[in-house]
Amino acid sequence: MNKLTLHGLVVIEGRATYERIASAIRDMEPDETLRQIQNFLKIYPEFAQAHNDLAVLYYQAGNGMKALAHYEKAHKLEPSNITYRKNLADFYFIELDWTDDAIQTYLDILKDNPFDVETLNALGTISSQIGRPEQARQYFTRTLQLDVVNSQARQALQQLGGQLPAPPQPAQIPNKQPEAYSTPAVRHHPTPVQQAAVFQPPHQAPPQTPENLHRQALELANSGKAAEAVRGLETLLVSYPEYSAAHNDLGVLYQQTGDLSRARRHHEEALRLQPANQIFKKNLADLLYIACGETEEAMKLYVNILGSTPRDIETLKAISRICLEVGQTDDARMFLDTILKIEPWNSEAHKSLAALSSAEKPFYSSPAKVRAPDDIYAEVQQFIQQDQLSEAYILLEELVRNNSSNALFHNDLGVLRYRRGDVKGAQRAYEKSVELEPTNRNYRKNMADLYFAELGMTDDAINIYLDLFRQQPRDIEALASLGHISTAVGRPNEAISFYRRALEIEPWNAEIRAALQGVM
């Protein structure tokens, strides 16, 4: 009773204080406004409106990392607040290009607010931009059924070649907007801070949808509470037995505990429910191959995956390993060659090919000849594998001199120079590799790591990783590195945001979970 009363007083006091602040800051400069809200949050860290408004200010100032952290914090504190959800969805799509996350967030909004014209327009716009014209037409048509004068939807539908709907009957139009709209919170549109004094009324707890239950279970798993996460997912499946993602995650958790029978059952059920899902296929194939030893069944799944995504490196690696295990060396070599065509820097594939070549060397001597760069590079990899770094370094220096346009050689030379303590030499080599192949993610990561860890070029490192992150928002290495850098430079909110994003992709990643717990 005391705790409840105290919380209520804090909320009322915080709201009154924030109203006074919002009234005072209308004529302030942006920097002073930022400072005022930051100071407020030191006293009332759980006040969602302030986090949302601070995110707006960071967004306007071009600080995407901090904007994301505060948008997500506002949403976490008030998950049913439609404005915070929209802001987050907008940010996902416009700034981060996280199309799937934005769509899912907007669809969640639409479930609770089926007459929300703004959400329908947003879904129509996203669908149109990602090449789904039929879905876009459906969303814009629905918008015009609710708001016949909506110019955005009308223009978009005309461009898509859709038929404009007839004016709706009065009964089809909602008499009033849902309760959540009566006092809208700040959106990150033209003048957000001027509206900062407007507050949402208290909301009821969000309904226990399968998505909410699933999210709660993942939070438990991310916190190291695997047993509770399993119970949560099992409970979810009692009410929603065809929720495929829960089956998949249960399979992962049961596999971690060694319960292979249940792991297999849930992985198979997830794939049955979504037979085209590549992640579910991989998870089942990995279980069959690594844990159950059913190589033939795993191989069928891997080949099926490769038919849809022929450049999938993980699948190519798995197939090449199986081919090596069963003695199909020619097939193994073919798959390894394919890997190197896609990722010329892949050291594991180089080592496997070198091992194959070494095993198949003839017993007679052949005439001396000039060796090809690939042969020399294979020898470099053998020296590195045997920890003969001096020999590898000499050969690699020669390779770089004779093949100055080969980015892979420059990158590997940077690695060896760094291991030998030549930081400046490593910097020159890394920068040359990126100059030759600016789109290569591995080379850019190596350069960013050196910038941050050895050269104190923190901003440069952050910019590189943010760019990699925008290109591939599910890159675990990039997310983890952004989290580590944010922690090191004293930005715990940004670090938490990146670590949580990584754990949404790999909820079983113990290293990232430990890093997250270290900053919370």
Cα angle 425, 431, 437 (rounded to 5 degrees) comes to 140
The pLDDT of residue 163 is 58
Tell me the per-residue pLDDT of 100-116, one tens digit each, with 9 for 90 and over.
788 888 888 888 777 78
Q: Is the dihedral of CA 151, 153, 156, 160 positive or negative?
A: negative
Tell me the per-residue pLDDT of 402-435, one tens digit each, with 9 for 90 and over.
888 898 888 988 888 888 788 888 899 999 999 9
Cα angle 389, 392, 394 (rounded to 5 degrees) comes to 110
Write down the H helix ranges in 78-132: 82-94, 99-112, 117-129
Cα angle 496, 500, 506 (rounded to 5 degrees) comes to 145
Give Cα separations from 242 to 239, 271, 376 (angstroms): 9, 11, 54
The pLDDT of residue 268 is 93
Q: What percent of the chain has pLDDT over 90?
A: 6
> Is the confidence at residue 20, as pLDDT, over 80?
no
Task: State the residue for tokens 């006040």.
Answer: 47
Mean pLDDT, the chain, as a whole number?
78
Count of residues making up the chain: 520
Give Cα separations from 267 to 212, 232, 251 (angstroms): 21, 17, 5
> Is the confidence at residue 306, as pLDDT, over 70?
yes
The pLDDT of residue 188 is 41
489 in Cβ contact with 458 (< 8 Å): yes
* Distant-in-sequence, close-in-space partners of 335: CB < 8 Å, separation ≥ 6: 316, 319, 320, 323
Amino acid (1-letter code) at residue 151: S
Tokens representing 407 are: 């980015």
The pLDDT of residue 265 is 92
Write down the H helix ranges in 274-344: 278-286, 295-308, 313-325, 329-342
pLDDT band of residue 195 (cuts 50, 70, 90) is very low
* 248 closest CA partner among 264, 228, 224: 264
Count CB-CB contacts under 10 A for residue 270. 26
List of domains in the chain: 2-171 (1.25.40.10), 210-359 (1.25.40.10), 405-519 (1.25.40.10)
Which residue would you say has higher pLDDT here, 389 or 200? 389
Q: How far apart are CA 434 and CA 273, in angstroms?
A: 43
200 in Cβ contact with 183 (< 8 Å): yes
Once rounded to an integer, what is the mean pLDDT over residues 211-225? Answer: 82
Q: How far apart are CA 314 and CA 306, in angstroms?
A: 10
373 in Cβ contact with 399 (< 8 Å): yes
Once rounded to an integer, what is the mean pLDDT over residues 358-366? Answer: 50
pLDDT band of residue 271 (cuts 50, 70, 90) is very high
> Is the confidence at residue 203, as pLDDT, over 60?
no
Number of H helices, E strands in the chain: 27, 0
Among the residue ranges 127-131, 197-201, 333-337, 428-432, the one predicted with the least confidence is: 197-201
pLDDT band of residue 137 (cuts 50, 70, 90) is confident
Q: How far apart are CA 465 and CA 37, in angstroms?
A: 28
Tell me the per-residue pLDDT of 54-92, one tens digit each, with 9 for 90 and over.
888 888 888 877 888 888 888 888 888 888 888 888 888
Give Cα separations from 427 to 19, 342, 421, 449, 465 (angstroms): 52, 25, 11, 10, 17
Q: How far apart are CA 264 and CA 118, in angstroms?
A: 43
Amino acid (1-letter code) at residue 123: L
The pLDDT of residue 48 is 85
